[in-house]
């Protein structure tokens, strides 16, 4: 538990650094940002009666005198170059190993040991669970696997669960940054620097997952590109949601790119399944599922509309309302849905009839389980009432929540 708390602290500081322009987007690999995050956490730790101001003064004076030669001597005295044995697995969480790119591997004939183990929070694992359940039930049929056979699930569960949880960990870190939108936001130049910094930081945090998949023989160029799509989505989400908070204009091109990228984690898991089962990627299935994912994302956004407004997260209805206005947004979104449904029907006819029927039944089942009125193809779309003033809506909702809390007490 202590390790997970430390991970959360580091990620919060990284998000804060990004929002304050303290990150360096040009740094090689982003390792400098993590070092600085750990250093800032170290500075605020209590030590005797020293104040933070006194610590900063001491460090400033010391750094003026220290050079690389001094550090080499200190390293030698502290014996930091001792190599750990193969059986030694303990790691100091405060040393910066969290989400650090994995550089050293030890390969046996059938076993892989990773010295720098990336860590995942319990909350990320919990959030990933529903996605994994849906993936198993919706996508296994495209790999000829039976969800009702537990051995098929547990055979692939460690790879898929770790990957999805890791992605959720980074998603949570990005969403934290969306809440840090001050009233007087800095210039567009500084904003672009911060977005670039966040993108570099998230890309760096993906390195351990990239290395793990590579060492397990699962990484492909196509899979790596989908992981990069996640970085692009998080960057676009940050850009669009912060623009909305400032009432700045946003482009429909950015919005449509973001909604298509949003399901990247499903495509990552699906591409992993092709590697795990030793099959060639079926491009027809991937294209069909991509259209289905697009429609499901819209359905989810309509269902989660109010929550996304409150949390200032990406939602296609929020974006369409900002671009087209409250009168035309529903019509433009309905047009977008209709065009996607036509593609869905076209691809569906190209599938094996039994596969198409199985997937159709699964989608109906998922819609009923989710309690959603909106759906795609076979369902009824329902666009919720639009929120014209998001800030007022947030204040009203917060007041209601506060009043409810007082009533309960």
Note whether 337 and 298 are within 8 A (CB): yes
How high does pLDDT run on average in the chain? 80
Determine the straight-line distance between the first and last CA of the chain, rounded to whole angstroms: 30
Q: Which of 309, 326, 304 has its CA nearest to residue 395?
A: 309
- How much is the pLDDT for 252? 97
Quick check: helix, strand or coil at residue 112? strand
Note whether 49 and 210 are within 8 A (CB): no
List, for residues 316-372, the tens digit of each pLDDT value.
999 999 999 999 999 999 999 999 999 999 999 999 999 999 999 998 888 777 665
Query: What HEC string does 54-103 produce?
Result: HHHHHHHHHHHHCCHHHHHHHHHHHCCCCCCCCCCCCCCHHHCCCCCCCC
Residue 196: pLDDT band by 50, 70, 90 thresholds? low
Answer left, alpha or beta for residue 383, where phi above 0 means left and psi between -120 and 50 means alpha.
beta
- How much is the pLDDT for 113? 42
Note whether 322 and 241 are within 8 A (CB): no
Instruction: Give the residues across from 107 on adjacent strands.
Output: 112
Least confident of 45-54, 188-197, 253-262, 384-393: 188-197
Nearest-angstrom CA–CA distance, 232 and 196: 10
Establish if 27 belongs to a structural domain. Answer: no
Q: Please, which residues have CB within 8 angstroms of residue 221's CB and are 6 or more apart in sequence?
A: none
Q: Which of 34-43, 50-59, 292-301 has the highest mean pLDDT?
A: 292-301
pLDDT above 80 for 4: no
Please return the burial class of 36, using the count of CB atoms within 10 Å of its CB with bins 0-12, 13-18 and 19+: middle
Q: Which of 345, 329, 357, 256 has its CA nearest to residue 297?
A: 256
Establish if 24 belongs to a structural domain. Answer: no
Q: Please, which residues have CB within 8 angstroms of residue 137's CB and are 6 or more apart in sequence?
A: 147, 362, 365, 366
Sign of CA dihedral 228, 230, 236, 239: negative
Domain total in the chain: 1
pLDDT above 70 for 171: yes
Least confident of 83-92, 152-161, 219-228: 83-92
Establish if 83 belongs to a structural domain. Answer: no
Note whether 363 and 139 are within 8 A (CB): no
Average pLDDT over residues 85-113: 38
List, for residues 120-166, the tens digit of each pLDDT value.
888 999 999 999 999 999 999 999 999 999 998 999 999 999 999 99
Least confident of 82-96, 161-175, 268-282: 82-96
Note whether 196 and 25 are within 8 A (CB): yes
Percent of the chain with pLDDT over 70: 75
Instruction: Give the residues across from 408 on adjacent strands.
Output: none
Percent of the chain with pLDDT over 90: 48
Sign of CA dihedral 160, 163, 165, 171: negative
Establish if 292 belongs to a structural domain. Answer: yes
Residue 2: pLDDT band by 50, 70, 90 thresholds? low
Average pLDDT over residues 88-92: 40
Phi, psi of 281 (to 5 degrees): -65, 130
Prediction pTM value: 0.68
- How much is the pLDDT for 33? 77
Establish if 136 belongs to a structural domain. Answer: yes
Establish if 9 belongs to a structural domain. Answer: no
Establish if 60 belongs to a structural domain. Answer: no
Establish if 322 belongs to a structural domain. Answer: yes
| Furthest-apart CA atoms within the chain: distance in Å | 74
Helix (H) or strand (E) holding 113: strand 112-114
Nearest-angstrom CA–CA distance, 151 and 185: 53
Give the domain range for residue 317: 122-408
């Amino acid at each position: 538990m202590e390790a997970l708390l430390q991970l959360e602290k580091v990620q919060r500081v990284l998000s804060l650094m990004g929002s304050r322009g303290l990150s360096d987007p040009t740094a090689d690999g982003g390792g400098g940002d993590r070092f600085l995050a750990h250093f800032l956490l170290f500075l605020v730790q209590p030590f005797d009666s020293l104040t933070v101001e006194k610590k900063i003064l001491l460090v400033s004076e010391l750094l003026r005198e220290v050079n690389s030669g001094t550090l080499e001597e200190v390293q030698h005295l502290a014996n930091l170059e001792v190599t750990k044995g193969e059986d030694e697995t303990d790691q100091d969480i405060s040393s910066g190993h969290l989400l650090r790119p994995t550089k050293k591997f030890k390969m046996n004939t059938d076993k892989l040991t990773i010295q720098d183990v990336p860590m995942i929070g319990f909350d990320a694992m919990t959030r990933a669970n529903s996605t994994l359940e849906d993936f198993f039930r919706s996508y296994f049929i495209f790999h000829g696997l039976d969800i009702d056979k537990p051995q098929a699930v547990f055979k692939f569960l460690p790879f898929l669960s770790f990957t999805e949880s890791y992605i959720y960990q980074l998603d949570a870190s990005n969403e934290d940054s969306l809440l840090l939108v001050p009233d007087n936001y800095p210039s567009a130049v500084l904003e672009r620097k911060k977005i670039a910094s966040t993108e570099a930081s998230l890309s760096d945090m993906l390195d351990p997952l990239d290395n793990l998949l590579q060492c397990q023989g699962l990484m492909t160029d196509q899979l790596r590109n989908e992981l990069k799509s996640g970085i692009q989505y998080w960057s676009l989400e940050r850009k669009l949601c912060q623009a909305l908070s400032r009432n700045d204009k946003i482009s429909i091109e950015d919005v449509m790119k973001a909604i298509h990228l949003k399901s990247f984690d499903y495509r990552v898991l699906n591409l992993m399944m092709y590697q795990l089962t030793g099959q060639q990627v079926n491009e027809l299935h991937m294209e069909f599922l991509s259209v289905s994912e697009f429609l499901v994302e819209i359905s989810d956004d309509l269902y989660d509309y109010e929550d996304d407004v409150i949390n200032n997260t990406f939602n296609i209805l929020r974006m369409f309302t900002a671009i087209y206005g409250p009168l035309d947004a529903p019509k433009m979104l309905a047009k977008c849905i209709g065009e996607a449904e036509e593609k869905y029907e076209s691809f569906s006819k190209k599938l094996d009839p039994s596969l198409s029927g199985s997937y159709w039944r699964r989608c109906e089942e998922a819609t009923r389980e989710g309690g959603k009125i909106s759906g795609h193809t076979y369902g009824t779309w329902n666009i919720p009432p639009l929120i014209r003033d998001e800030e007022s809506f947030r204040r009203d909702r917060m007041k209601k929540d506060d009043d409810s809390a007082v009533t309960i007490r």
